[in-house]
Structure 1
Amino acid sequence: EVRAQGLWALAPDIEHVLAHRDVRDWYVFEAASWALAEQRMPADKRRERWLEPLPAVVLADRLRGLPLFASVSVDELFRIAAASKQIRHDPGATLIAEGAAPATIHLLLDGTVIATSATQAPQTIGPPAALGFAEALEGAVSSRSLRTSGTAVTLALTTDQLRTMLADNTELVRGLFAEMSTRAEAPGCSPIRATGAATDLARLATDGIVPVEKILALQSIPHFSRASAEEMQQLAAITHTVPMRAGSALFSASSPAATWLVLSGEVRLEGEGPTIAARGGDIIGSFCALSGREVGLTATVVEDGIALRIDRDELFELLGERPDLLRQVFAGMMNLPRPAAAV
């Protein structure tokens, strides 16, 4: 806080801490040293002369600025900082090459990077930034080259390390999909998305729905379009079949976030805005479920039918346990067309 807000009147107190605090309290020692270094020299000079890894406090603060880590506890950020490898890059170092699938993800912590490609104008990227993250997780090639414009510091993670981190920490998975759903969802867009498979879904719901038919139905949800047959079976296992009866409530405005797939029937959604109808073949609340936001609407069944429900907590628990499913769902979201805002 002293460094961030420029409260340099407290500099003597920081010097006192350095002189008298137990040196075994390393987090405090390195943070105090970094703050005083910033007071005494310009940022570019400090980067040039500071050859040690960035202090854990600074690292945790930079990571907090990334949506992926936004909901992670401070203790967990320090654990990640302690377990990860920092790399100090010279000016002009290539971090990611255009046309190659990145084997390493770079979390830019200090310095700047220039992104270039054959089709786009150069772009300057500053910290904090996740470089090559989407491509590495999806297994895709990079559409641009990334090079440091000066001395830069990154936290380098292999794809396997990233997947292990996601498997070990559900909050990271939540942060990942909160960011992805925010990017995919246009401001003011409808909470309903059509699958275009209304006829097929209605046919599946004619005589109830058996487990194998759940898999067929879930394939119509764009997020799951890249999931393998094996992973779809796991998704089907956490998917609840909900009979809908006219006049009954399907969910309330404060219900926990969930993805609903209406197979047949009709649902009326009411809130502060205009009333919205969801019919067979429609998905309700998918982005809310991924981002953790409540739909904020009350759903009342207008016409008898069947719906499928995937609770958010169960979905993220499953994603944390199954790295392949996590990668496949991520790839499905990367290929979603951005919807137009509701009018």
Structure 2
Amino acid sequence: MPLVLTEEQTLLRDSARGFIAENGPVAQLRRLRDANDHDGFCRELWARFAGMGYTGVLVPEAHGGLGLGAVEAGVVMEEIGRQLTASPFLASGVVAATALMRAGSPAQQAEWLAAIASGERIVAPAFDERSKHDPACIELRAQPAAEGWRLDGAKCFVVDGHAADAFVVSARAPQAPGPSLFLVPADAAGLAVERVAMVDARPTARLVLDGVALPAAALLGEAHGAAAAIEAALDAGRVAAAAELLGLAEAAFERTLAYLKERRQFGRAIGEFQALQHRAALLCTELAITRAALVHAQQTLAAGGAEAAASIAKSRAGSTATLAVQEAVQMHGGMGMTDEFDAGLYMKRARVLQELWGDADFHADRLARLRGY
């Protein structure tokens, strides 16, 4: 398949670029951060974002969504990355929606996918329990109870969990052959949600489940058979996070190029200095290679079996974004270190996204295992 956007995908990109740049620029993130806003994102913008149909990009048309794929979701995520727009789309519209599409019953999908597509409800995935991403490590216990299930344990780094209406929670029963997935309402008795501020000014959450009683209908899919759905949801999130990383990397690069052409030293633009030209050329090449890896992963994800491609895209995007933001700070000199300049905001977001659902080391190890090493 060609590693370029179709005409329809290009139109979606142009629409998302104009809308997000106008309504959710970097300045909005600064305002939310400085006000210590509890949600960490603008509810009014989220409603308008839903009105444009972006929240339901992945949701089937039967449930009120657009019924598109990973490429289209990535197009939206890139524009979010360009502007550092705070939005629950990644957690709710991509990861949680994918988990529900893969494991949810028709009744669960009818209720929750429609609500996700309309933006009326935010659903957050809760898979991690350690400081480093390790989805196979599940200590949260799921015990069969008289009328359903009882959950006990904790989850951390729950993206947008502080503002979620429900959670997709992975759990494991003692001696069970595999994990299970549960849909847990945010107001469930015994569930405590702690808001945690991240370095990039975006809140996440820690969950503590102390004897949370759930009906049998809260189980997503088959008991002890959720491993494939969890990996599918995580890979969808990894590829979407890679798209956000690429978007912010390209924005940082564009700002740096503009500065190299404007800043003058010793009577000439600093962009005329060969050393800076070499560094800019290297970054431009890295961005092009990363885009090819990302589009391949998006296309592979739509066709199924994208584990290796997702890991390559997430790892490369993290490394490329790190290079882009570091070069932005260094080439801007002293002012690149100040809070008034946006490079620091891009750097902090890149650092958080790098860790989210597996850093470069995690995905290098995963890729080696997938290839039999």
- TM-score w.r.t. the length of structure 1 is 0.25
Structure with greater proportional strand content: 1
Question: Which structure has the bigger radius of gyration?
Answer: 1
**Structure (1 or 2) with the greater helix fraction:** 2
TM-score of the two chains, using structure 2 as the length reference:
0.24
